[in-house]
Amino acid sequence: MRYRGRFAPSPTGPLHFGSLVAAVASWLDARAAHGEWLVRMEDLDTPRCVPGAADEILRTLDECGLEWDGPVEYQNRRLDYYQAALRRLKEDGLAYPCGCTRKEIADSAPVRASGERPYPGTCRAGLPDGREARAWRLCVPPGEFMFQDRVQGPQSEAVQQETGDFVLLRADGIFAYQLAAVVDDAAQGVTDVVRGADLLASTPRQIALQQALRVATPRYLHVPVATNPLGEKLSKQTLAPPAGPADLPAVLRFLGLVPPVLPPRELLAWAIREWDAARVPPRVSVAV
């Protein structure tokens, strides 16, 4: 199967250094494999989306020379697909309604060593009397979900123990990230997912959902997370500044390359020839 990768930012603001790292890594991995690179806007969480941010992200990618293949997909236009997937899971007995509030879950579920507070399965056997469905959850089977990450190495998690039955449709009516990402990757024929290591913990859940929906599991590559001098992940919340073409040399160094001084597009052509996932460090100790 021909390589097909994707970059799926959330339009909550402009691209910062950390998101540009994920974009460049996924673009280089696709181009070095002579494959396709898609762009998908994960704009389901409408309260967090910033007007104009999607266009600004696309403009930055274009200015950096990160050309994509085919039309840009927007998750907000694909709600029928997520509804169909949820309906299929319901019909297969793999999804159930949950009437629990966040406070009730917090009061009944201890925090695991991973930092997760697993859902205790209160509504798995049916909604308690007098309760209405607030959300829908996946009925996760016991056992380990394992995968080989191309940078982080072998990974394994007992999702039922660490996370429990996770949400597919939120109480506010918004489809959960895990469901949308799995449905879209399958629909777009994505063979390789390259993204930040902050999403590493999501992968076992997505594999559980892929198996429930009987779709293929892509290969995974999680690049290190960029931080500020305080050790905080770069984000809108930590006031990360916008990134652009001038940041490409630093991005390539972050990914384990030693770039020459070249204009952006020539630099990317050089980086395609030099790209090797084995050179990407699992963690970057020097803060950005």
Q: With bands split at pLDDT 50, 70 and 90, how would you rate the model's confidence at 114?
A: low
Q: Is the pLDDT of residue 285 over 60?
A: no
Residues near 232 by beta carbon (within 8 Å), at least 6 away in sequence: 238
- Encode pLDDT of 15-56 as tens digits: 999 999 999 999 999 999 999 999 999 999 999 999 999 999
One-letter amino acid at 121 equals G
Q: Is the pLDDT of residue 240 over 90?
A: no
Ordered structural domains, the chain, with CATH: 4-78+178-279 (3.40.50.620), 93-169 (3.90.800.10)
Element (H, E) at 266: helix 264-274
pLDDT, position 113: 60
Q: Is the pLDDT of residue 197 over 60?
A: yes
Whether residue 27 contacts residue 15, with contact meaning beta carbons closer than 8 Å, is answered with no
What's the first-to-final CA gap in the chain, in angstroms? 37
Percent of the chain past pLDDT 70, that is, above it, reads: 97
Q: Is the pLDDT of residue 170 over 90?
A: yes
Q: With bands split at pLDDT 50, 70 and 90, how would you rate the model's confidence at 85?
A: very high
pLDDT, position 186: 98
d(CA 99, CA 172): 13
Residues near 245 by beta carbon (within 8 Å), at least 6 away in sequence: 63, 64, 65, 264
